Amino acid sequence: MKSNTLVLILSFVFTLGVKQAFAQPEVLNGAQIQFEKESHDYGTIEKDANGDCVFIFKNTGNSPLILENVKGSCSCTVPKWPTEPILPGEKGEIKVHYNTANSGPINKSVTITSNAVNEPVKVVRIKGNVLMPPANEPQKQEATN
């Protein structure tokens, strides 16, 4: 009796394992967004240095991807994004400009709202540090006429 029960249990476990091994992954219909990177590190940069970076993404879904809104976490972080639909298999870019006029640490986010079924709201981040100019360096003065 014990051996029959053991065989039955092992058969059940084996059957579940085989079903799991051959199970097809769930396919999501619609646009899907996938980023090449989700954060950008400026490292340590000088005050007033170039604060531009680019986030490249791909529509891995089967419908056009539409970015409805892209918003920086503050006025010092300004994104530009494509307004036309990104077709399945195509790539797009979100360009982010960080204003490096102020010194100190950078830890900002950019929130992307789209019709992507896998991530309708996605957050990417920028980080780094803007150096304070040396104390003995003369400050730039604007010419007056």
- Report yes or no on 37 lying in a domain: yes
Whether the pLDDT of residue 10 is over 60: the answer is no
Number of domains in the chain: 1
Q: Which residue in this structure is represented by tokens 């539409």?
A: 66
Mean pLDDT across 74-99: 97
pLDDT at 48: 95
Tens digit of each residue's pLDDT (9 = 90 or more) over 101-134:
999 999 999 999 999 999 999 999 999 999 988 7
- Report yes or no on 69 lying in a domain: yes
pLDDT mean across residues, the chain: 85
pLDDT at 9: 58
pLDDT at 143: 45
Q: Give the pLDDT band (50/70/90) at residue 6.
A: low
- Report yes or no on 111 lying in a domain: yes
What's the CATH number where 72 sits? 2.60.40.10
- Report yes or no on 28 lying in a domain: no
- Report yes or no on 18 lying in a domain: no
Residue numbers of the domain that contains 82: 33-130
Q: What's the rounded Cα separation, in Å, for the pair 144 and 136?
A: 23
Number of neighbours of residue 120 by Cβ within 10 angstroms:
14
- For residue 7, which phi and psi values (nearest 5 degrees)? -65, -40
- Report yes or no on 135 lying in a domain: no
- Report yes or no on 45 lying in a domain: yes
- Report yes or no on 106 lying in a domain: yes
